[in-house]
């Protein structure tokens, strides 16, 4: 049984390494929101699994029409999992946690949201509005995997972080009272 598990682990690791080779080193993403545009640069070399997972959803249009559903001033803005009607939209594809890749949860970084299970990141992400080094991994716990940076539009992130929030539906009091919609999320290509 142990030999089978080792073989499966090696095969899985090999397929991730192969997939990581196909991930662009520094893809740029444009997030068009109802409050303005945010441009990201992702770190495909430092977080290849996370970036590959995120790009697959961007390319499929998964994020188009979703909202920033959790906004906490002085902390972060989170999106990528709910419709404007607060219906959950996720798939079953979770990914291994790539925290500890050399990037820290500093102001302007984008990281994957997850549950208490460190390997439960799915579609939701957050952008840090302050330095949140407390979200980085420690010797006794997993952290939250940073996989890119805001390169334009941090003023829009700050504007989103300042909106009025409250309880809505089954979600906590961190939901913007007026939905902040991700109109479109696309890769930016340069000629």
Give the pLDDT confidence of 62-79 residue by residue, as tens digits: 999 999 999 999 999 999
Give the pLDDT confidence of 119-163 residue by residue, as tens digits: 999 999 999 999 999 999 999 999 999 999 999 999 999 999 999
Question: Residue 9 above 80 pLDDT?
Answer: no
Q: What is the pLDDT of residue 114?
A: 97
The size of the chain, in residues, is 191
Q: How far apart are the C-alpha atoms of 29 and 184, rounded to whole Å? A: 10
Question: Residue 112 above 60 pLDDT?
Answer: yes
Closest CA to 86 of 186, 180, 170: 170
Could you tell me the pLDDT band of residue 4, with boundaries at 50, 70 and 90?
very low
Beta-strand relationship, 68-72 and 109-112? unpaired
User: Residue 141 to residues 124, 128, 144, 176: CA-CA distances in angstroms?
Assistant: 21, 20, 10, 31
The per-residue pLDDT of the chain, averaged, comes to 91
Q: Largest Cα–Cα distance of the chain, in whole Å?
A: 55
Q: How far apart are the C-alpha atoms of 179 and 65, rounded to whole Å? A: 11
Question: Residue 86 above 70 pLDDT?
Answer: yes
Q: What is the pLDDT of residue 170?
A: 87
Question: Are the beta carbons of 149 and 38 closer than 8 angstroms?
Answer: no
Domains annotated for the chain, with CATH where assigned, are 25-188 (2.40.100.10)
Contacts of 127 (CB under 8 A, 6+ apart): 38, 76, 77, 108, 109, 110, 150, 157
Give the pLDDT confidence of 32-45 residue by residue, as tens digits: 999 999 999 999 99
Task: Give 179: exposed, middle or buried? Use CB within 10 Å, 0-12, 13-18, 19+.
Answer: middle
Percent of the chain with pLDDT over 70: 89
Could you tell me the pLDDT band of residue 19, with boundaries at 50, 70 and 90?
low
Q: Helix, strand, coil shares of the chain as percentages rounded to 5?
A: 25, 30, 45
Give the pLDDT confidence of 47-59 residue by residue, as tens digits: 999 999 999 999 9
Task: Find the Cα–Cα–Cα–Cα dihedral 105, 77, 168, 86, rounded to 10°.
Answer: -100
């Amino acid at each position: 049984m142990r030999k089978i598990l080792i073989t499966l682990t090696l095969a899985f690791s090999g397929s991730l390494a192969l997939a990581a080779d196909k991930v662009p080193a520094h893809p740029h993403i444009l997030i068009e929101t109802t409050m303005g545009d945010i441009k990201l640069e992702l770190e495909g070399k430092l977080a290849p699994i996370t970036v590959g997972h995120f790009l697959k959803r961007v390319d499929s249009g998964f994020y188009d029409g979703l909202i920033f559903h959790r906004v906490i001033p002085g902390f972060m803005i989170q999106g990528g999992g709910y419709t404007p009607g607060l219906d959950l939209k996720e798939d079953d594809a979770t990914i291994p946690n790539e925290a500890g890749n050399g990037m820290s949860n500093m102001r302007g970084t984008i990281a994957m949201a997850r549950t208490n299970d460190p390997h439960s990141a799915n579609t939701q992400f957050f952008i840090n509005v302050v330095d949140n080094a407390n979200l980085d991994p420690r010797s006794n716990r997993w952290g939250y995997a940073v996989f890119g940076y805001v390169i334009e539009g941090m003023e829009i992130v700050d504007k989103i972080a300042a909106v009025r929030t409250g309880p809505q539906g089954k979600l906590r009091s961190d939901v913007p009272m007026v939905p902040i919609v991700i109109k479109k999320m696309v890769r930016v290509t340069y000629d």
